[in-house]
């Protein structure tokens, strides 16, 4: 990977926004860009008149010195009107004046990694943040990006590195009778503690892929049971059409929503009724599939409706409280909002079994899990080979190699390429 060239990229997505952001990073970028009118002051927003072949262009520029930039090199961010032709001309002008080139996918973050600004797992967190599809993924990505995995693994790696140094010193001084670099009991304790720490990371881990699928909360019941009204209230906006006429909802409608600190997909399905034809049969089959697979089912009962058979995932909800003669502990009104707060709390409690990423329960990629497992296996071999220093040292090196593939301390080129290849341009 070429780390010396100055790279240029448009760091805003394509679309109809009024402004675009052009990002340039490399050595001597500030001096070079002065030749096209970008005279910036580090860590201040400067108004400049960019000199382009088509004329002067008013822009805003923000400069970051190498020791304060994301990439570890001088970085300029230029804000300009989001006209595709104008952005292309400005990009080409920056490339020409800096003798640079267009950036490849993930190259800005790769520079940050190679310049010691990020660990490899933190760099992966940047990519995960960009590709996150919901808040749970975003939370898991944020933990990676801010170095939570690195903070867990690096101290273990440091201890093993120091221990390996002692073991190898013992090998070097094997002919010296009075020299013992490390006692066998101490070596065993270090190995056991390291293995336990790594196993704790695995035991608490959440596969990043599981965060892509949010838990589901399905609203079920007979036609005209108040499901759609309750759906809108829980979503806190008018998402579906509400009508007194039964059967208004004919297809499942899905939306993400938060219940306290738990994110879920709430689903409004067609009312449960006997099929009257092929279309109705298909609609009912789809509704029943959502109900069976749901984490939580809110069985909505309007006044006069019979009680349904609740499964393990079911919650009984008496809707239309404002029209009820009798009040139940599970009664709610989508008109007056009475009972809604209580229902939200009940749903949140039902979702506590759904894993959420925290500093003690990290969201990991499969390769992280594999390398931790490799390190644990190597520690097991190290434990078994304690009486033979040469074999023990070999196993400890294998531990460091496995952990280094997570932190980036010892990382083969193909692993680095795999990590940064999934980025988008300008990141």
Cα angle: 142, vertex 143, 147; to 5 degrees: 110
Question: What residues are paired with 58 via a beta bridge?
Answer: 49
| pLDDT score, position 250 | 58
Residue 14 phi, psi (nearest 5): -65, 145
| pLDDT score, position 236 | 81
CB 318 within 8 A of CB 301: yes
Give the pairing type, strands 216-221 and 296-301.
Answer: parallel
- 194, with CB counted inside 10 A (0-12, 13-18, 19+), is buried
| pLDDT score, position 180 | 63
CB 26 within 8 A of CB 98: yes
> Cα separation of 123 and 146, whole Å?
9
Identify the CA nearest to 6 among candidates 67, 87, 97, 88: 97
Helix (H, G, I), strand (E, B) or coil at 15: coil
> Cα separation of 33 and 234, whole Å?
53
| pLDDT tens by residue, the chain, 427 residues | 677 899 999 988 777 789 999 999 999 999 999 999 999 888 889 999 999 998 999 999 999 999 999 999 999 999 999 998 999 999 999 999 999 999 988 888 888 888 888 877 887 788 777 777 777 777 777 777 888 888 889 899 989 988 888 888 777 665 555 556 788 999 999 999 999 999 998 888 877 777 777 888 999 888 888 888 888 888 887 776 555 555 555 568 888 888 888 888 898 888 877 666 766 778 788 888 888 888 889 988 888 788 787 778 888 888 887 776 666 667 878 878 888 888 899 888 888 877 777 777 788 888 889 999 999 999 999 999 999 989 999 999 999 999 988 887 754 454 445 445 555 656 6
Task: Give me 296's structure tokens.
Answer: 């939580």
Domains present along the chain, CATH in parentheses: 7-103 (3.30.1360.120), 121-208+361-420 (1.20.120.430), 216-350 (3.40.50.300)
CB 401 within 8 A of CB 379: no
pTM assigned to the model = 0.63
DSSP string, 165-222: HHHHHHHHTTT-TT--SS-HHHHHHHHHHHHHHHHHHHHH-EEGGGGGS--EEEEEES
């Amino acid at each position: 990977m070429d780390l010396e060239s100055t790279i240029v990229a448009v760091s805003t997505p394509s679309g109809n926004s009024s402004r675009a952001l052009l990002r340039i990073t490399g050595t001597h970028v500030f001096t070079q860009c002065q030749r096209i009118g970008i005279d910036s002051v580090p860590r201040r927003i400067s108004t400049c008149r960019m000199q382009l072949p088509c004329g002067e262009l008013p822009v805003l520029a923000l400069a970051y010195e190498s020791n304060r930039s994301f990439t570890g090199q001088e970085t300029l961010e230029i804000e300009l009107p989001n006209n595709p032709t104008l952005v292309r001309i400005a990009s080409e002008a920056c490339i020409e004046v800096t003798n640079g080139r267009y950036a490849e996918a993930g190259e800005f973050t790769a520079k940050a990694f190679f310049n010691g600004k990020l660990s490899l797992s933190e760099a992966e967190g940047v990519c995960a943040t960009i590709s996150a599809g919901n808040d749970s993924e975003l939370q898991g990505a944020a933990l990676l990006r801010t170095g939570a995995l690195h903070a867990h693994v690096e101290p273990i790696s440091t201890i093993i590195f120091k221990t390996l140094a002692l073991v190898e010193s013992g090998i070097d001084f094997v002919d010296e009778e009075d020299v013992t670099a490390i006692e066998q009991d101490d070596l065993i304790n270090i190995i056991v503690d390291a293995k336990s720490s790594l196993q704790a990371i695995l035991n608490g881990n959440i596969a990043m892929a599981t965060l892509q699928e949010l838990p589901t909360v399905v609203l079920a019941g007979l036609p005209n049971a108040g499901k759609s009204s309750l759906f809108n209230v829980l979503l806190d906006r008018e998402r579906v059409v509400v009508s007194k006429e039964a059967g208004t909802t004919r297809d499942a409608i899905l939306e993400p929503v938060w219940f306290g600190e738990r994110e879920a997909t709430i689903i409004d399905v067609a009312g449960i009724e006997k099929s009257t034809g092929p279309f109705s049969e298909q609609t009912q089959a789809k509704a029943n599939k959502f109900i069976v697979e749901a984490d939580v089912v809110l069985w909505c009962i309007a006044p006069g409706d019979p009680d349904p058979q609740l499964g393990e995932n079911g919650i009984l909800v008496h809707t239309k409280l404002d029209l009820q003669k009798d009040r139940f502990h599970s009664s709610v009104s989508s008109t007056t909002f009475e009972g809604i707060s209580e229902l939200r709390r009940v749903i949140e409690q039902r979702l506590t079994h759904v894993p959420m990423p925290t500093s003690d329960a990290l969201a990991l990629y499969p390769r992280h899990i594999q390398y931790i497992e490799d390190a644990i296996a190597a520690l097991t071999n190290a434990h078994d080979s304690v009486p033979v220093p040469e074999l023990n040292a070999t196993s400890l090196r294998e531990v460091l190699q496995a952990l280094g593939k997570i932190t980036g301390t010892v990382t083969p080129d193909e692993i680095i390429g795999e990590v940064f290849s999934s980025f988008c341009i300008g990141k």
